[in-house]
Structure 1
Amino acid sequence: MTKCLGLVAVLAALGFATQASANQDVQTLASDPANWAIQSGDYSGHRYSKLDQINASNVGDLRVAWTFSTGVLRGHEGGPLVIGDVMYLVTPFPNVVMALDLAHEQKILWKYQPKQDPFAAAVMCCDTVDRGVQYAEGKILVHTADTSLIALDAKTGMEIWKVKEDDPKNGASGTGAPLVVKDKVIVGVSGGEFGVRCYITAYDLNSGHRVWRAYSMGPDADMLIDPDKTTSLGKPVGKDSSLKTWNGDQWKIGGGPVWGYMAFDPALNLVYYGSGNPSTWNPVQRAGPGGKRIDQKWSQTIFARDADTGIAKWVYQMTPFDEWDYDGVNEPILTDLDIDGVKRKALTHFDRNGFGYTLDRVTGELLVAEKFEPDVNWATKVVTDKSDPQYGRPLINKKFSPFETGTDDVTKGICPSSMGAKNQQPAAYSPLTSLFYVPVTRLCMDMEAFKVSYQVGQPYVGATLTMFPAPGENGNTGAFIAWDGAKGKTVWSKPERFAVWSGALTTAGGIVFYGTLEGYLKAVDQKTGKELFKFKTPSGIVGNPMTYMHDGKQYVAVLSGVGGWAGIGLAAGLTDPEDGSGAVGGFASLSSYTGLGGTLTVFALP
């Protein structure tokens, strides 16, 4: 007995006793490749499946196995979960949750439609999307448009508990997928375009009781930042690190939404996520005393937080004093990478601003920052030399700075556009190649900032945008690329007619799946990018492909339903090119290739 206890202590000290610090149910389910138990596939966010029944040699033979209509005609982001014989999915607003019996012809076991104030849809920035449900310990967790977090009985669909995070009448909304870590459900709130001071909250899985809440900006106590122990690029952030970088009380309406996919490292007990844009988009209004640039921390930041307490261990800000709406919410992907001959516990993040970042996820040290989209021009580089006083900061090209141009003047030719070089659509990682597979948007923009007054619950944007294809792309506005995170280099790139707004899925079969805005589900070879399969689904794909196994057969499923920011013109019937913050003009020809829909399409080999 003494020897066993001693061994446990040694393993814990070496970091091997990791399972106990995760939610054991979620960890066990996610480790079985027959399931798809987390929106990101696993806690590391790899979106990788060990299934290989469908592989590079036979994927061209895929056929439609079955389809299912969700009954909602808006943007279908996220994807379904599969736990054993049951598939769970949620629609865009009104956020209907459904359970399908895979063992009995996909019979609908139950439906749950939350009661919401219809006003919630009016304050959703970029379509009425929802990025998916989460499962844990017999519960389905859903985050609804009105910022409610709801726990349902997975067998019956009956409501177990419900908490209301915020009020849509304040401009707050909920679109992000929850993450279950240990005995907590973690979720963030959106509202950066409405001047909401946003935050992330952990709730008790069994009761819905709030455990901790951390704001994106403000006093240290509100942000759960320890000025002496929380670090940025290896140095303590110091007292009032956020308050010192805002002008007066601007932080109270500072934005910093949290709606992207999160990751968790059980060995380190750290939750990783990104915060979004500061409010307003007009940088002149957000300038510091004397009209100077000011960082406005901690918007546009990757946070590493202790799962139990919420205290931030480290932070890294990608785009200080953001002038372009380059939300930093995109997913963190956790891997072990060999960088300059040293094995590092890494975090890789593909930011809206067009740079692919690799950081040490233990310390927050910046290791790699390179452009994954070659047209990026707002900054010339991000400094990665630790001896340089500008270490970690982007070097801004003032020609493409709306702050330099000023209010009511147009800044032309900014790349990427506010949609970013990659938006909400999650990248994937494959251990077969040690490469990341990234959906890319290739749009640039002209931006005109204007003065805007803050009113509770009203848009607080302060800019108009005109979007257009990046130069030299032959009219294509998208691509799908393979990226070497250790070297910061593109290995191969496959152009697409429209921005790739779908997530990626890698499998042990050596293939990568992704969807296109025209509605194609595609499969390509992980090593070469060669297209091996495509099928046009009923509507544009802005959801994330997933895979599961049932009765010995592997299936691949994807939601199609054009929408999201890229497809808002079609989804909401908008026609003015400047509507949808410029998205309507940027995707004017999309209506010639697809239409509205809300369909789950499931594929299998004959």
Structure 2
Amino acid sequence: MRRSALACGLLATVALSSPVLANEDVKKASADPNNWALQQGNYAGWRYSELDQVNTSNVKDLKVAWQFSTGVLRGHEGSPIVVGNRMYVHSAFPNNVFALDLDNDNKILWKYSPKQDPSVIPVMCCDTVNRGVQVAGDTLILGQADTTLVALDTATGKEKWKAVNGDPKKGETHTGFLLIVNDKVIMGTSGAEFGVRCHVTAYNLKDGKRAWRAYSMGPDADILVDPEKTMSLGKPVGKDSSLKTWTGDQWKIGGGSTWGYASYDTEANLFYYGTGNPSTWNPAQRAGPDGKQIDQKWSMTLFARNPDTGVAAWAYQMTPFDEWDYDGVNESILADLKVKGADRKVLVHFDRNGFGYTVDRLTGEPLVAEPYNTALNWSTGVELDKSKPNYGRPTVVASKSTFLNGPDVNTKNVCPAALGFKDQQPAAYSPLTGHFYIPTNNVCMDYEPFKVSYTPGQPYVGATLSMFPPEGQTNTGKFTIWDASEGKIVKAIDEPFSVWSGVLTTAGGIACHGTLEGYVKCRDQKDGAELFKHRLPSGSIGNVFTYAHKGKQYIGLYSGVGGWAGIGLAAGLDKPTDGLGAVGNYAGLKSYTDLGGTLTVYSLP
């Protein structure tokens, strides 16, 4: 199997001047394509492997090599981690972790079973999912549903330390976002649907002591911005940049969840993540004192932060005064691209709002913002002319504004739906083609806000939704190939259901993903042609990964339907508007799949 300089991933060979730190272990492990050492594939979030034993000419011959049941029948997101001869498998709540010995028929070396109060389950917004563990050297990091952060010894599974990141009784939970950088473990939080003021928090990898916390909204000292040095659209954010955009103390229950995947630029020493919706979903309750729209910073924002201090280098708010629950939490993929004739260090971000952004990752300047699904209709576009007063902002179509239409009015046919044209399922990049591969939702919605009161630990949503495919279409999913330099769709292939599974690309020229109704598919990166398809035990919302052991390449993913799209099956819901509108849209899933929790691994005969 071929190895090249690309095996290290973007920037992974850059040495830090500081002493040997945790990310040196991570970079070393992820530079070896035999491993799958990060949930994101590498720090840049490419989800690309240099392995090419399985390729476009022979992928059709893949067979099931082995399977493993986690014993949990709920949605399984993320993927296992593989380092050397060990594989670390995780489950949905109660977040069991298994260490498997790849040298010995995948024997269970140890199992860690957290003891969690099941009362956290109804506080979790969209199923009991977990987006995976991370590993650095001899330490495995697990984020539990109840927000407990645990460090385990990779050899024994014994606890090294624990830290509590939040309080589920207030609605604070954990489903994803773990990043190990330098001597820190950085963790996000969920809870915007319960009026939580969310944050990212760094803990010392050595002992679990809290190093810093950056809230999504509030005073400058809380959100860790420098009024003069933290930039937004080329200008300093200024004093009280967040407080000035909230009415009274609304920021204290402001939302801004941080549960997506994060990426890290080792050269710039910046990590990148997004924040979610402001609370509540009823925009009328968040209007300014004069009844007008107000930005509510820094929800719906891409942040670049220093992992050592937490201080933000820049912030870019993509959907100010969100009216549709277009969380900005989706992953950012780092690449060096030629954009508008110039070589730029960029991040590529497919936002829930339906726009594919190419952003200068050093300055936060948006360079490209175009729809990655032509059905988008809530906005006519994002202004990229720096001389215009609305620079960087989307222009809203008045008839699709849930605020202008008012509370208790059902705004019809808004595209995309609240779950976005893409949700948590991560896209992938391939240096072979220079293209990005997007697993998407082809879903629109009707959205009716209503007044809701805040009570700690109780839902604070304030909207009723129904979801459906775009007019004239029946499929709720697409697999899309994207040119981020130009902001153009290269190819969009219809899928019957949302592609809620993360994509893997490899040096073999393939792009693989799972499907919600229960298939794994591998495609040709050039044109998306389907080369392999196999039935899984359950629908897949997991991320495809690959590794090699004893000279043989394996490709695997979790099956276990659930997440927001599969919440009807996962939680036994049947009312069309349940699951924040997802149940009715995905009602047909029950004709194809049911609950599961299995890892399936493939190889060539």
TM range (shorter): over 0.9
- The 2-side partners of 1:24 and 1:417 are apart by 41
Task: Give secondary structure in 2 for the equivalent of 1:291.
Answer: coil
State the identity as a percent: 64
AA paired with 1:436? F
Cα distance in 2 between the residues matched to 1:284 and 1:224? 28
Aligned position for 1:583: 582
Name the CA distance, whole Å, in 1 between partners of 2:546 and 2:591.
Answer: 30
Q: Determine helix, strand or coil for the equivalent of 1:376.
A: coil
Matched ranges for 1:19-418 at <5 A:
19=16, 23-418=23-418
The answer as to whether partners of 1:539 and 1:560 remain within 8 angstroms in 2 is: yes
Whether the aligned pair in 2 keeps the contact of 1:69 and 1:600 (CA below 8 Å) is yes
Q: Secondary structure at the match of 2:290?
A: helix
Q: Structure 2 vs 1, CA of residues 553 and 20 (structure 1 numbering), >3 Å: closer, same or farther?
A: farther
Deviation of 1:542 (Å): 0.2
Map of 2:8 onto structure 1: none
Q: 2:162 & 2:122 partners in 1: Cα distance?
A: 22
Change (3 A) 1:267 1:384: same
Taking the aligned partners of 1:314 and 1:391, their CA distance within structure 2 comes to 16
Structure 1 residue 472: deviation in Å?
3.0
1:551 alignment counterpart: 550
User: d(CA) in 2 for partners of 1:351 and 1:365?
Assistant: 16
1:528 and 2:527 are equivalent in the alignment: yes
- Per-residue deviation, 1:525: 0.4
Q: Match of 1:190, as an amino acid? A: S
Whether the 8 Å contact between 2:347 and 2:360 is mirrored in structure 1 is yes
Deviations 1:464-501 (A, max 9, x none): 0011111232x000000110001000111111000110
CA–CA separation in structure 1 for the residues paired with 2:289 and 2:377: 28
What amino acid does structure 2 have at the position aligned with 1:539? S
Using the alignment, how far apart are the partners of 1:178 and 1:576 within structure 2?
A: 34
Distance 1:57 1:17 in 2: 35
Distance 1:196 1:264 in 2: 26
Q: Corresponding residue for 2:482?
A: 483
Q: Whole-Å Cα distance in 1 between the matches of residues 472 and 103 of structure 2?
A: 50
Q: 1:133 deviation in Å?
A: 0.2
Kindly state the Cα deviation for residue 386 of structure 1 after the two structures are TM-superposed.
Answer: 1.4
Query: Alpha-carbon deviation of 1:177?
Result: 3.7
**Deviation sequence 1:267-314 (CA, Å, 0-9, x none):** 000010000000000000010111100000000000000111110000
* 1:544 maps to amino acid: N
In 1, Cα distance between the equivalents of 2:361 and 2:17?
20
| Contact 2:12–2:31 under 8 Å retained in 1 | no
Distance, in Å, in 2 between the alignment partners of 1:576 and 1:439 is: 27
Q: Give, as a single letter, the amino acid of the residue that structure 1 aligns with 2:355.
A: F
* Post-superposition offset of 1:15: 12
- Cα separation, 1, equivalents of 2:316 and 2:492: 28
Q: Distance in 1 between matches of 2:302 and 2:208?
A: 26
Looking at structure 2, the residues matched to 76 and 117 of structure 1 have their Cα atoms a distance apart, in angstroms, of 20
Contact 1:134/1:177 (8 A) holds in 2: no
Looking at structure 2, the residues matched to 97 and 58 of structure 1 have their Cα atoms a distance apart, in angstroms, of 33
Distance 1:364 1:177, change over 3 A: closer
Deviations for 1:421-477, whole angstroms, at most 9, x for unmatched residues?
00000000000001000011011111111000000000000000011111232x000
Cα distance, 1:373 vs. partner? 1.0
Q: Distance in 2 between matches of 1:432 and 1:71?
A: 38
1:504 maps to what in 2?
A: 503
**Match for 1:318: what amino acid?**
M
The letter for the 2-side match of 1:246 is W
Match of 1:465 in 2: 465
Q: Distance in 1 between matches of 2:256 and 2:311?
A: 17
- Cα 1:16–1:27 change in 2 (3 A) is closer
Contact 1:19–1:27 under 8 Å retained in 2: no
Residues of 2 paired with 1:17 and 1:119: CA distance?
A: 45
Contact 1:272 1:302 in 2 (8 A): yes
CA contact (8 A) 1:130 1:177 kept: no
Q: Distance in 2 between matches of 1:563 and 1:466?
A: 18
Q: 1:137: how far off?
A: 2.0
Structure 2's unaligned 5+ residue stretches are 1-10
Residues in 2 aligned to 1:71 and 1:346: alpha-carbon distance in whole angstroms? 41
Q: Indicate how the Cα distance of structure 1 residues 177 and 90 shifts in structure 2: closer, same or farther if over 3 A, else same.
A: farther
> Shift in Å at residue 570 of structure 1?
0.5
**Where does residue 592 of structure 2 map in the other structure?**
593
Gaps of 5+ in 1: 1-13
Equivalent pair of 1:142/1:177 in contact (CA under 8 Å): no
Q: Which amino acid aligns with 2:386?
A: K
SS in 2 for 1:457: coil
Q: Is the 8 A contact 1:133 1:177 kept in 2?
A: no
Q: Aligned pair in 2 of structure 1 residues 18, 346: CA closer, same or farther (>3 Å)?
A: farther
Report the CA distance between 1:115 and its aligned residue: 1.6
- What amino acid sits opposite 2:316 in the alignment? Y
Aligned partners of 1:398 and 1:587: how far apart in 2?
Answer: 29
User: Partner letter of residue 544 of structure 2?
Assistant: P
One-letter code of the match for 1:495?
Answer: D
Where does residue 8 of structure 1 map in the other structure?
none
Instruction: Measure the CA separation in 2 of the matches of 1:190 and 1:575.
Output: 25
Q: For residues 37 and 294 of structure 2, what CA distance do their matches in structure 1 show? A: 42
Give the counterpart letter for 1:194 in structure 2: F
Query: How far 1:189 moved relative to its partner?
Result: 0.8
Tell me the CA shift for residue 543 of structure 1: 0.4
Offset of residue 121 of structure 1: 1.1
**8 Å CA contact retained: 1:16, 1:267:** no
Query: By how many angstroms is 1:17 displaced?
Result: 4.5
The whole-number CA distance in structure 1 between the counterparts of 2:342 and 2:477 is: 34
Amino acid at match of 1:236: P
Provide the TM-score with structure 1 as the length reference: 0.97
Structure 1 residue 122 displacement after superposition: 1.4
Determine if the alignment matches structure 1 residue 514 to structure 2 residue 498. no
CA distance in 2, matches of 1:553, 1:261: 29
Q: Report the residue type matching 2:370 in the other structure.
A: E
CA offsets 1:78-108 (integer angstroms, 9 cap, x no match): 0100011110011000000111111111111
Give me the whole-angstrom Cα distance separating, in 2, the residues matched to 1:447 and 1:72: 33
Q: What is the rounded CA distance, in whole Å, between the counterparts of 2:395 and 2:402 in structure 1?
A: 15
Look up the SS of the partner of 1:336 in the other structure.
strand
CA distance in 2, matches of 1:254, 1:427: 28
Q: Is the CA contact (8 Å cut-off) linking 2:232 and 2:316 kept in structure 1?
A: yes
**CA–CA separation in structure 2 for the residues paired with 1:575 and 1:243:** 41
Note closer, same or farther for the CA distance 1:351–1:15 as it changes in structure 2 (3 Å cut). closer
Residue-by-residue CA offset, 1:93-133 (whole Å, 9 max, x unaligned): 00001111111111111111112121111100000000000
Equivalent position amino acid for 1:198 in 2: C
Distance 2:341 2:444 in 1: 37
Corresponding residue SS for 1:570: helix
SS of the residue corresponding to residue 314 of structure 1 reads: strand
Cα-to-partner distance string for 1:225-260 (whole Å, 9 max, x where unaligned): 000000001100000000000011000000000000
Letter in 2 for 1:519: G
Deviation of 1:19 (Å): 4.6
* Residue 18 (structure 1) shift: 3.5
Contact 2:12/2:27, CA 8 A, preserved across alignment? no
Offset of residue 20 of structure 1: 5.1
Q: Deviations over 1:34-76 (max 9, x none)?
A: 0000000000000000000000000000000000111000000
Which residue of 1 is the match for residue 7 of structure 2? Answer: none
CA distance in 2, matches of 1:177, 1:66: 28
State the 1:411 CA deviation: 0.6
Looking at structure 1, the residues matched to 120 and 31 of structure 2 have their Cα atoms a distance apart, in angstroms, of 36
Report how far residue 16 of structure 1 moved. 7.9
The CA deviation string for residues 159-208 of structure 1, in whole angstroms up to 9 with x for no partner, is: 11000111100000001141100111001111000000000001100100
CA distance in structure 1 between the aligned counterparts of 2:461 and 2:339, rounded to whole angstroms: 40
